[in-house]
Chain A
Amino acid sequence: MLLLIAVFALLTAFGCTAGSLYDPKPWAAPVFLADETVVIGTDTGHIVVGNIVTGQELGRCETGEGRNSIRAIFGAPLLHDGRIYAGGFDGVLYAINPDSLLPESEAECLPFFEADSAIVGGPTLTPDGVLLLGTEGTTDTERGTLYAIDINNASTLWTFEADSQIWGTPVIGDGLVYIATLGGTLHAVHMEESPGTEAWRHQAEAGIGGMTLHEGVLYAGAFDNNLYALDAATGAPRWSAPFTADNWFWAAPLITGDRLFAPSLDHSLYILDKDTGAQVMDPVMTGGAIQSNPALTGSHISIANEEKETWWIDPETGQGIVGGKLPDPVYAPIVAFGESDALFFAQDGAIYRASPSLRQPVRVFPVDN
């Protein structure tokens, strides 16, 4: 008994209580509202608008609590017609007028649509004004729902029930929307003819991470260590075999020219021929797992890893150089800024600006200070 009490006391002393189980991390990519103004969804459930150059907060509002009393926004906000759309972990899609926000405010964000369960990915908008949004499903079913919502009146146009939780942002193609699930199913769902019905599905051996749609091919990385290339219209494999790494593919791959750059949790950035899936040069071996989506920043591809390193890779030569070190790892997708800079939303809740020439990343916006 004494041992148990002592263990608990030690754990508490080190701040190792169960709070860490319910501790969300910054996950959403900053989105540009104007040249220097960004919108950020935070791990504390705030939607924050700020100036990335001056570091000044322009306004914020707060979302509600989801399961396990978690208040967070994991998906990147969407901007449309002067409004910010962001999905909360409380299962509510918010629509906010940025001009109505006040700095350091504790005002509640304006709800737009209520879904059945937590929203982890971000919303996507079709050219026809249909918002698409995935949920992780209720704890009873654990089957996520894809919602198609009329952006004008928040009415549900149709829904599609996935095989398991949806954590990603839906990707829109030609008449189809693609959603990836943690159960390993990639669903292609009709949006126009028979909307809400499944066009095709691809089953991976484990959950699917980031997806990239490029010239009619859907590239999807999975937790079974495979990177798949599928025909977006039919779901047929485009490569003779999926490309296999030593660990999961979590981030979405990036394509520039004929090359595909795929970061893996095995610490490597793989450089493949996008048509065949063959490696065209040696992978860039970094010192840590890569979770965040890479970004093309000027003439370099920028990545960050679990060891807080920033890397800058020349897409032509495949040569990578290590940049300055961040104070914390980055899970949120990296965002290009200016001609050659990148923005990193790190785990300490601040945004850092870095470039290949900059020795040390500069803390430009303390989102949650």
Chain B
Amino acid sequence: MEVVGDIFIFLLLQPMLNGLVMLYSLLFESMALAIIALTVVVRVAFYPLTIKQLQSSAKMQALQPQMQEIRNRYKNNPQLQQRETMKMYREAGVSPLGCLGPMVVQFPIWIGLYWAIIKGLGNLPGSFVYLSQRLYSWLPVGGEVLPLNTEMPWIIGTLDLSAPDPTPLMPLLVAASTWAQQRIMQPPAMTDQQRQQQQIMLFLFPIMLGFLAFTFPSGLALYWFVSNFITIGMQGFISGWGNLIPGRPRVTANATTPPTPQLETRSNDGSEPGMDGEDRRGSDSARTRRTRTRPRRRRRPRR
């Protein structure tokens, strides 16, 4: 376990911590600007992966109606349901794990960024010593920039980024940006149950992160806010602002949505889909839905 920790420190934490100190030195010795800049740099560096992840999840969202249809049609035959779902993915050229790959790659980077900010904000003797040992000796900046100035202008005069914000402003900014991010990323609900879940999530996460921002150093809250802001921008760029700005229709990743596969009305074992009367009744509606789910004419993505 210690080896894993050392590798994490060597490969991720240390470069990010040094990057933070370097940016601090370049950006007028302002920790706030350094945190914003480092968050932007990391997000920009992983822009291709993030786009890939967002596109992949947009494709998955676009297939939701078809997936729902398969679920309804084969609800008594899970094996067939799975087979048909996989077939749909295959025909659409989508991998259900497609959005996980980029996420997994970014995961340790986010932890490194989190830790770099935590360690950079430390202003106790112990954390100071830690910082001293993690700074590259070849960096043009070193001990002379320490202790790092963690103050930034704020509505109450100054805000100490190493301490929680005594005002509710930073937690509110975090909560609001989290809500906006949730809102813009939310796929259209297929069922009432899904809609209810989405509504709960829409408010649960912002409340949770807003509460955490009350107790964590405001430097971390600033990082969350900036990170949310960037994600909102990226998501808006990919799939439009429809969820966020009323009156602007959502463009569901048209540029990336694969052609919707035609669903078969007959299952592979030759039987009619569904074995009971309810399913047979459902077959009519399935045909109706099939008509609806044919690929529409592509629109150019909104930019």
Query: Which residues of chain A have a CB within 8 Å of any CB of chain B?
Result: 1, 3-8, 10-11, 16-18, 20-25, 27, 67-68, 70, 72, 74, 120, 139-140, 142, 165, 167, 182, 184, 205-207, 222-225, 246-248, 250, 265, 289, 291, 306, 331
Contact = CB atoms under 8 A, between A and B. Distances in A.
Contact of A140 (B121, B158, B185, B217): B158
Contacts of A70: 124
B125 A1 contact: no
Contact of B110 (A3, A222, A247): A3
A25 B126 contact: yes
Q: How large is the interface on B (under 10, 10 to 19, 20 to 34, 35 or more residues)?
A: 35 or more
A289 B220 CA distance: 29
Chain B CB count within 10 A is highest, among A1, A25, A331, for: A1
Contacts of B163: 67-68
Contacts of A23: 124, 126-127
A247 B111 contact: no
Given A68-B163, A247-B132, A18 B217 contact: yes
A331 B142 contact: no
Interface in B104-152: 106-107, 110-111, 114-115, 118, 121-122, 124-127, 129, 132-133, 137, 142-144, 146-147, 149, 151
A1 B205 contact: yes
A117 to B, nearest CB: 12
Contacts of A182: 146-147
Contacts of A165: 147
Contacts of A247: 132-133, 137
28 contacts: A4-B209, A7-B107, A16-B115, A18-B118, A18-B217, A20-B118, A24-B125, A25-B126, A68-B163, A139-B158, A142-B149, A165-B147, A167-B125, A205-B143, A206-B144, A206-B146, A207-B143, A207-B146, A222-B143, A223-B132, A223-B146, A224-B142, A246-B137, A248-B132, A250-B132, A306-B133, A331-B125, A331-B126
Interface string B186-226: 00000000000000000001000100100111001000100
B143 A21 contact: no
A18 B143 contact: no
A7 B114 contact: yes
B157 to A, nearest CB: 8
A74 B122 contact: no
A10 B8 CA distance: 14
A304 to B, nearest CB: 13
Contacts of A18: 118, 215-217, 220
B18 interface: no
Given A120-B125, A246-B137, 18 more contacts: A1-B181, A1-B205, A4-B224, A6-B107, A8-B212, A16-B115, A18-B118, A21-B118, A21-B127, A23-B124, A25-B126, A68-B162, A72-B124, A206-B143, A207-B143, A207-B147, A223-B146, A248-B143
